[in-house]
């Protein structure tokens, strides 16, 4: 058995880090290409996001017009319009609606194949999800934002670091959302059917992430509790607030740092849950 064993030949056996990066990149690229094939769904989705953009934008502008000084909850009209259109674009990037792939694979048993791969399952799902998000950033974020810019006055950031900080914030939002979606889907390891938790996730994510109304419209104590106590504002509200410069620079940076903490915690939790689930799966499989 000279040199023959079950080990998979590495892409770059002498430099394991490079191998890992290459694998991660290849998986991400596969996620990007997969979503690039759903062209009609992309067009249909962008159309719907745009219609909702008009609806929400007019409502928030009417609220601002009726408020004292034309500012509602610290946003002026341009900031609110930008908030709405950025939110409509980002909601697909952070996949605020359902993602049931893992739950479906757990139910059908296909997840067993994921465990055979030489990549940790959390990483194995995260990498394609980042590819998906990159695709959505180009084909689902930009179209509604462009329409919004054509029909409404949008806010142009004035600080030089706002746009890079926004990019970082979006990346952290995608990771945070992935962690949450992974955890919600992973309930299927125990419940076999994750439809209940997924419905609950879609509902709470929409409200608590700031899609229906900016969370600053809530009383201060409630908004702060949501921000610190739950990861939801980090999915949509934080990137949008960063881009429209709702807060002074230190608060802007602190919000992104909070997002990073939540993203790291959720990824860690996902890994722990996965490990426990794997033990359980082995017990089931006999």
Partner 1 sequence: MGELRAYGALFLGQWRSLASYRASFAVDLATNILGAVLDVVAVLVLFGATRTVAGFTLREGLLVVSLSSCGFATADLVVGNIDRLKTYVRTGAMDAVLTRPLGALPQLVLMDMPLRKGLRVAVAVAVLITALRLNHVDWTPARAALVVIAPLSGALFFGAIFVASASLAFWWVESGEVGSAFTYGGRDFTAYPVPVFEGWFRAVFAYGMGFGFVAYQPALTLLEHPDPLGLPAGAGFLSPLVALVAAGVAAVVWRAGIRHYRSTGS
Distance CA 84, CA 194 (A): 30
- Residue 43: CB minimum distance to partner 1, A: 9
Q: Which residues pair with 72 in a beta bridge?
A: 75
Residues of this chain that interact with partner 1 (CB under 8 A) are 40-41, 44-45, 47-48, 51-52, 54-56, 58-60, 62-68, 72-73, 193, 195-196, 199-200, 203, 207, 212-213, 217-218
- State which residue, 40 or 108, has the beta carbon closest to partner 1: 40
| Residue 171 vs 209, nearer CB to partner 1 | 209
Q: Compute the least distance from the CB of residue 188 to partner 1, in Å.
A: 13
Closest among 236, 238, 226 to 94, alpha carbons compared: 236
**Residue 142 CB, nearest approach to partner 1 (Å):** 18
User: Considering beta carbons, is residue 191 or 258 the nearer one to partner 1?
Assistant: 191
Q: Name which of 32 and 213 has its Cβ closer to partner 1.
A: 213
Q: How far is the CB of 110 from partner 1 (least distance, A)?
A: 20
CB of 209 to partner 1, least distance (A): 13
CB of 144 to partner 1, least distance (A): 12
> Which is closer to partner 1, CB of 166 or CB of 201?
201
Cα Rg of the chain, angstroms: 21
How far apart are CB 36 and partner 1 at their closest, in Å? 15
Q: Give 195 or 276: the residue with its C-beta nearer to partner 1.
A: 195
Q: In the 3-class helix/strand/coil scheme, how is the chain assigned residue by residue?
A: CCCCCCCCCCCCCCCHHHHHHHHHHHHHHHHHHHHHCCHHHHHHHHHHHHHHHHHHHHHHHHHHHHCHHHCECCECHHHHHHHHHHHHHHHHHCCCCCCCHHHHHHHHCCHHHHHHCCCCHHHHHHHHHHHHHHHHHHHHHHHHHHHHHHHCCCCCCCCCCHHHHHHHHHHHHHHHHHHHHHHHHHCHHHHCCCHHHHHHHHHHHHHHCCCCCCHHHCCHHHHHHHHHHCCHHHHCHHHHHHHCCCCCHHHHHHHHHHHHHHHHHHHHHHHHHHHHHHHHHHHHHC
Residue nearer to partner 1 on the CB measure, 69 or 164: 69
Q: How far is the CB of 107 from partner 1 (least distance, A)?
A: 14
80 vs 145, beta carbon nearer partner 1: 80
């Amino acid at each position: 058995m000279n040199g023959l064993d079950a080990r998979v030949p590495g892409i770059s056996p002498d430099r394991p880090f490079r191998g890992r990066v290459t694998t991660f990149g290849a998986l991400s690229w596969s996620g990007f290409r997969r979503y690039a094939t759903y062209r009609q769904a992309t067009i249909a989705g962008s159309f719907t996001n745009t219609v909702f953009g008009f609806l929400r934008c007019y409502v928030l502008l009417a609220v601002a017009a009726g408020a004292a000084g034309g500012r509602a909850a610290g946003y002026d009209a341009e900031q609110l319009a930008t908030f709405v259109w950025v939110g409509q674009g980002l909601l697909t990037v952070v996949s605020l609606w359902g993602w049931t792939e893992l739950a479906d694979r757990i139910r059908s048993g296909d997840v067993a194949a994921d465990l055979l791969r030489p990549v940790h399952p959390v990483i194995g799902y995260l990498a394609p999800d980042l590819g998906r998000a990159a695709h959505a950033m180009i084909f689902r974020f930009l179209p509604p934002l462009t329409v919004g810019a054509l029909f409404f006055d949008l806010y142009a950031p004035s600080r030089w670091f706002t746009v890079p900080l926004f990019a970082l914030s979006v990346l952290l939002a995608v990771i945070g959302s992935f962690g949450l979606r992974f955890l919600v889907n992973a309930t299927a390891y125990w419940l076999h059917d994750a439809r209940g938790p997924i419905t609950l996730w879609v509902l709470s994510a929409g409200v608590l992430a700031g899609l229906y109304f900016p969370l600053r419209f809530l009383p201060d104590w409630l908004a702060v509790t949501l921000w610190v106590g739950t990861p939801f504002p980090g999915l949509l509200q934080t990137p949008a607030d960063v881009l429209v410069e709702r807060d002074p620079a230190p608060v802007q940076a602190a919000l992104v740092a909070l997002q990073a903490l939540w993203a790291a915690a959720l990824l860690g939790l996902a890994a722990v849950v996965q490990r426990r689930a794997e033990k359980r799966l082995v017990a089931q499989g006999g």
